[in-house]
Structure formats: structure tokens, C-alpha cells
Structure 1
Amino acid sequence: MNKIITYKTVLSSFLGLMLLSGCTDKTHSIKMKGSDTEVNLAVNLAEKFTEIDPDFSIAISGGGSGLGITSLLNDQADIANSSRPLSDEEVEQFKEKNIELKTVVFAEDATAVIVHKDLPLSEIDLETLGKVLDGKIENWNELTEVDMPINIYGRQSSSGTYSFMKKKLKVEFAPKAKEMTGNAQIIEGVKADKSGIGYVGAGYLSPESEQKQGVKVLKVKKTAQDTAYSPVDKYAITNNLYFFQRPLYQFILKKSWDKVKPFIDFEIGEKGVGIIREHGYYVKEN
């Protein structure tokens, strides 16, 4: 019978999970590290997979896309979960070490912009959002009737979500932005701060975020004249109408492919796709 051990530290909000079976065969032992956006989903996929095939032992930890990719470079993982593609520098590093990778896009995510549930704001355009996150707009009274300095809750630079938002908005984040270690920490920060704004993976939000999590999901529009779309609107995501959509990657050491493939086949199969959708992520129809 499988045992599930979860490790959490308050300081870093680091989530690790080890799925252990009685089998000690290294050919059935998989190490997966990386994206905080993907970690909860990966844990649940691994739990269901090891129920079907208990010979496997899967160790999972978060810490950011960059950490996962570095773990592959240092031969400390078989799979790197990443919410961004490899950078040119990383591609060169793998080449220099003669490390071959396989890439799997197993799901899609939308990054949500959240504020406190009581803030009188429901949508925002890209130019305004960029000015908020880079510090040019410093008080909510420039956008609402509320006079409060804006507090920004973001991710660390090793985060794929950090890189994704920075690239999509073409901005540098304000130095005053708080660097949080994960999505859950950002949600809790904004929930407790009436002047807070942050960005998180939409899969971390409940359908009733305002009631259950104390945060409001802003609709986003490209310009002030355009229609605004929500990341929790399945129609908008299916039709590629939401601006902050992205694929979720798994980079896999080629030498580990044979032992990893049964798990990958489960992920992209019917049961895996069902779990992915249950968690608020998306899978494009073929």
C-alpha cells in the first residue's frame, strides 16, 4: 500500500511530496522538480498514477521553473515542470553538457490577476496593468475612488510565471513588489491586504474566489476599448481570447525517458486529462 508524505515549511512555502511504494527499483523511481504553478497538479496526477501502478515511486517538489531546469542540468531530477520554455542560455547550457531532453506540453494554464475582494475594480487593460506592476501608478485613486497606495504581490525571478508576465507586459516589475515563493502565498497576501494586487495560476483559484478565498479575479482587456475576458471563463480560454494563456511544459532527460514514459502516457490519457481539467487547467482538443 502506498504511503504519502508531504513536507511543508512556513518560511519558504515549499511543497514537496514523496509517493513511496515498497519497490526500491531505481527504474521505477522518478524525481520531478520545478514550477510552483504545476506542483499541486503534478502531485495529484502522481497519486492517481501510483494507485494504478504501485511499483512506481515518484518524488515531487516545487520551487520554481528555474530550479527544476537547473536540477536537470545537475542530474538531480528526471522531469522539470516548467511554466515557460527554455531560455536561449539554458539551451546552450544543455548543449555544453551534452544533455538531451524531450519536451512534453501536457496542459495549458491561464495567469490570473487578483485584487482584494472589496476593491471596487472589476477589469483592467494591459497598459494600465503594466503601469501598476512597474510602479508608475502607485495609488488606487488613479483607477478607483479608493485612496490607498498599491501593494504588489509577485513571484521570485526564478519563477516561470514571473518571466511570463514580465515578457507579456514588456515591463520591469517595481522594486517595491513583494517577492512571494508561491501562488498560495500570493493569494493569502492579497486576501489580507485591501490594497494588494498579484498574479497567480488560474488553477489555484476556486470558482467562488471572492467568497472562498477573499480575492477578486480581474477581467483583462488588451486596450481600454476592447472586451475584457476572465481566466476562469472556459469559453474565453478555449477560443484563445484571454491574453495571459500559456502552455505548461515538462522537460525530461532523454536517458530517463523509458522509465518516465508510463507516467507521461497516464497524464495525456483519458484519466490524466480528466484530473487536469478538474484542477482548473486546460487541455486543447485535438
Structure 2
Amino acid sequence: MKRIRPIGLTYFGLVVLTVVHSCTSKDHSIKMKGSDTEVNLAVNLAEKFTAIDPSFSIAISGGGSGLGITSLLNGQADIANSSRPLSEEEIEQFKKKDIALKTVVFAEDATAFIVHKDLPLEELDLETLAKILDGTIKNWNELTPVNLPINIYGRQSSSGTYSFVKKKLKIEFSAAAKEMTGNAQIIEGVKVDKSGVGYIGAGYVGDEPETKQGIRLIKIKETPTAVAYSPNDIEAINNSLYFFQRPLYQFVVASSWEKVRPFIEFEQSDKGKEIIKDHGYYIKD
């Protein structure tokens, strides 16, 4: 599998983009909400799809996986983009409302951990990473020659990435962690903060991040003596060696399935897969 670096514009949480062409009809109006990790990709897929079939109108917003799932429950969306599976509580809520869902896994993502480009840190093991994010390790001088208090840039609790990292590390995040609305805000925060550390979708890390984005990508190893892997290591991803890999979901209200099916089929086409890879995500056959 080939991985190509992400392209396109940056959208912050809750930014809405509506792709509308002439000759639209009510039956071809799709509302898609949810994961900030997926929003840039969803926008590009929708743009390319509606260029092929201008009878469709697709409104897209981010804001987090939880928001997208809640929007399905409230009848405010046809598709929820989610970087995590449904919780047991959410499954019960859909059952109580008698709302049937279809689940599509359309790509795979890796969560990247970043620091300021000038911080002399190359890799972290899981135990040390957990202690940073839960606030046990408070100053970089415990790990590096730099004497600076650690500032954590994370996501809001409605974010699938927030839930994913929390569950993988089996931690509660530090109460001092800054809650940002999206990947782009985390990058901007760490870029200007020499004591910053954050986590983002790997698709948001461009070529030469130290030069172009002002951030350093941290390699992750499961134990202090294990091999450290980067989320942009294609071979490691293909062999499921990077600890923070995950599928990306789209939950579709069953009653909307026939309406959205042409768009889902476009995502799964060769052209759709090419777009997914162009954004730095993975397709596993």
C-alpha cells in the first residue's frame, strides 16, 4: 500500500462546508456530522463525488465523533463520521429509539504524538507517555535537558481520538490538559509552545513537519527496550506494529441507506481510495 502525504485545507471543529450543485433534490440531500479527524477527508470526497453527480447536496460538519453519533440519535444527520466504535450506552440508546444503523469502515488512521520542533525528544514508551498525559510527569527535565513545565494539548471528551488514546493507555487525562476543538488547533498550539505535547490524526502531519509545521513527530515503543515506530512508517502500519492504529467508521441511519449508498460506493471505488490515501490515511484489503 502506498501512502501519500495529506493535501487540502484545514477545517476546525464545527466548521461546516456544504457541497451544493444545481439540480439538487430532497432525496439527494445528505447531512454528515462528526469526527474532526475525518472532516477534511469527508469534504474532499464529497467535492469529488458531487462533481461527478451534481444532483447531490452534501452538508458536512465536524465537532467530534460523539456529536456525530448524537446527531444520528436526534435525526439531524444521515451519516456520522466516527474515529471510534459505538459505546455500549450508545448502542442501547439506538435500540430504545428503534433506530437501525449500518456500519462502514472506510479507512484506517494512526494517532500521532507531537512536540515542539526544538524539544530534544525522539521517542517515548507507553508507560512514560501515559505518565505525561495523566500529569504524573510534569516537567520535561525528567526526560530531557530542557527545564520547562509540560503543557498538554488534547481534545474534548466528545472526540473519538480523546477516547481512543485514553482507552489505549488506560489513563485519565490530566485536569490541566488544554481541550482543543480539532487537530489543526493542537498543531498550532504545540508549534508556538516549546513545552507543548499533543496528539493528532497522523493524516494531519505533512511532509517535513519540523520545517513546515514547527512540530516534531514522536516515535512510540510499547516498552523501554522495544523498537520504536512512527505513524508515518508505512511498513510498520502495514504490519500493524504501530500501537495507536485504528479503523475509521461511518455510521449510517438505515432509513437513509439508499440515499447515501451512491456516495459510499464512490468512497469504496478506486477513485475514492486514491483520495483517502492522498489524505495520509490507509486502506487495508
Cα contact 1:34–1:68 (8 A) shared by 2: yes
3-state SS, counterpart of residue 31 of structure 1: strand
Equivalent residue, structure 1, for 2:177: 177
Q: Distance in 1 between matches of 2:192 and 2:14?
A: 20
3-state SS, counterpart of residue 71 of structure 1: helix
Equivalent residue, structure 1, for 2:193: 193
Cα RMSD after superposing both structures: 1.3
Q: Please list every run of 5 or more consecutive structure 2 residues that lacks an aligned counterpart in the other structure.
A: 1-8
User: After superposition, what is the alpha-carbon deviation per residue over 1:92-124, rounded to whole angstroms, capped at 9, x for unaligned?
Assistant: 000000000000000000000000000000000
Deviation of the 1:14 alpha carbon: 3.0
Equivalent residue, structure 1, for 2:50: 50
Task: Write out aligned runs for 1:210-229 (5 A).
Answer: 210-229=210-229
User: After superposition, what is the alpha-carbon deviation per residue over 1:34-71, rounded to whole angstroms, capped at 9, x for unaligned?
Assistant: 00000000000000001111111000000000000000
Equivalent residue, structure 2, for 1:92: 92
Number of residues of Structure 1 aligned to a counterpart in Structure 2: 277
Which 4+ runs in 1 deviate beyond 3 A? none
Cα contact 1:68–1:77 (8 A) shared by 2: yes
Cα contact 1:155–1:181 (8 A) shared by 2: yes
Q: Please list every run of 5 or more consecutive structure 1 residues that lacks an aligned counterpart in the other structure.
A: 1-5
Deviation of the 1:23 alpha carbon: 2.6
Task: Write out aligned runs for 1:32-181 (5 A).
Answer: 32-181=32-181
Q: Distance in 1 between matches of 2:81 and 2:138?
A: 34
Deviation of the 1:24 alpha carbon: 3.7
Deviation of the 1:208 alpha carbon: 1.0
3-state SS, counterpart of residue 218 of structure 1: strand
| TM-score normalised by L of structure 2 | 0.95
User: After superposition, what is the alpha-carbon deviation per residue over 1:66-87, rounded to whole angstroms, capped at 9, x for unaligned?
Assistant: 0000000000000000000000
Equivalent residue, structure 1, for 2:4: none
3-state SS, counterpart of residue 120 of structure 1: coil
Name the structure, 1 or 2, with higher relative contact order (CA <8 Å, separation 6+): 2
Equivalent residue, structure 2, for 1:281: 281
Q: Distance in 1 between matches of 2:270 and 2:54?
A: 19
Cα contact 2:13–2:36 (8 A) shared by 1: no
Aligned residues: percent identity? Answer: 72
Deviation of the 1:16 alpha carbon: 1.1
Deviation of the 1:25 alpha carbon: 1.2
For 2:235, the aligned partner's letter is Y
3-state SS, counterpart of residue 247 of structure 2: strand
